[in-house]
Amino acid sequence: MNTARYVHWQDGGMWLGYFEEFPDYLTQGETLEDLQENLRDLYHDLTSGEIPGVRRVAELTVE
């Protein structure tokens, strides 16, 4: 089982969130569980190639 870090918060009656690796792609849900399910669907879409030109955050070691 893989894991992915995400940022989430509640705004009014909705939960919003995005993956740290994909900060341009936000999703929402009426409950935290709803948000997590929508994040799972979004992660699949982002990593499967279904969405062209996906921008990602990465780290690079430099000297």
Beta bridge partners, 14, equal 11
**pLDDT tens per residue across span 30-46:** 999 999 999 999 999 99
14: containing domain: 1-63
**pLDDT tens per residue across span 7-24:** 999 999 999 999 999 999
Whether 50 shows a pLDDT value over 90: the answer reads no
**Domain total in the chain:** 1
Instruction: Return the HEC string of the chain.
Output: CCCCCEEEEEECCEEEEEECCEEEEEEEECCHHHHHHHHHHHHHHHHHCCCCCCCCCCCCCCC
User: Which pTM does this prediction carry?
Assistant: 0.88
Q: How far out from the chain centre does Cα 18 lie?
A: 3
Give the domain CATH number at 29.
3.30.160
